[in-house]
């Protein structure tokens, strides 16, 4: 698992008028800003536009687009680094779309605790734990539901 880091993209976001410590919901951004934001998604994940989009119709819904939009609202907007520095897609992804090794569940759970629980806090200041992302009862593969949502 990629150890969580302060985002290296804070300046890119500021140039687009986005406060990296208080990013707005995606639907509050103008179409022009969304378009200029897209390369930060692609670079954070180390992918091309086609990883998420039907490039003949960028507006068309896809499972990856749904997950990306939820990652924005639940993680980038809903959480902050515990030390108050900016959290963004690159903080967790570090240039890879997929990076979890779920081979050893015990080691992964310990890494999740050290990175995603201890180094993050909730924007609404409520208590932060595994349940914040995995729900209660604990759902290990909750991204499957995100990919299908709506």
Residues that bind ligand HEC in the complex, under the rule CB under 6 A? 26, 34-35, 38-39, 41-42, 45, 47, 49, 51-53, 58-59, 64-65, 67-69, 71-72, 75-76, 87, 89, 91-93, 97-100, 102, 105, 108-109, 112-113, 116-117, 120, 130, 132-134, 140-144
Report, in Å, the least distance between residue 53 CB and ligand HEC: 5
Closer to ligand HEC at the Cβ: 20 or 65? Answer: 65
Q: What are phi and psi of 130, to 5 degrees?
A: -50, -40
Report, in Å, the least distance between residue 55 CB and ligand HEC: 8
Burial class (CB in 10 A: 0-12, 13-18, 19+), 48: exposed
Closer to ligand HEC at the Cβ: 58 or 149? Answer: 58
């Amino acid at each position: 698992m990629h150890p969580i880091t302060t985002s290296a993209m804070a300046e890119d976001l500021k140039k687009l008028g986005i406060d990296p410590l208080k990013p707005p919901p995606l639907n509050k951004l103008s179409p022009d800003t969304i378009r200029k934001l897209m390369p930060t998604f692609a670079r954070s994940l180390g992918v091309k536009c086609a990883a998420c989009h039907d490039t003949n119709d960028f507006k068309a819904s896809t499972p990856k687009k749904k997950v990306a939009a939820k990652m924005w609202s639940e993680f980038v907007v809903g959480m902050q680094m515990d030390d108050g520095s900016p959290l963004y897609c690159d903080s967790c992804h570090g240039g890879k779309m997929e990076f979890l090794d779920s081979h050893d569940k015990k080691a992964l759970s310990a890494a999740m605790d050290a990175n995603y629980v201890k180094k993050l806090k909730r924007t609404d200041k409520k208590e932060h734990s595994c349940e914040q992302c995995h729900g209660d009862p604990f759902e290990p593969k909750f991204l499957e539901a995100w990919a299908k949502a709506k």
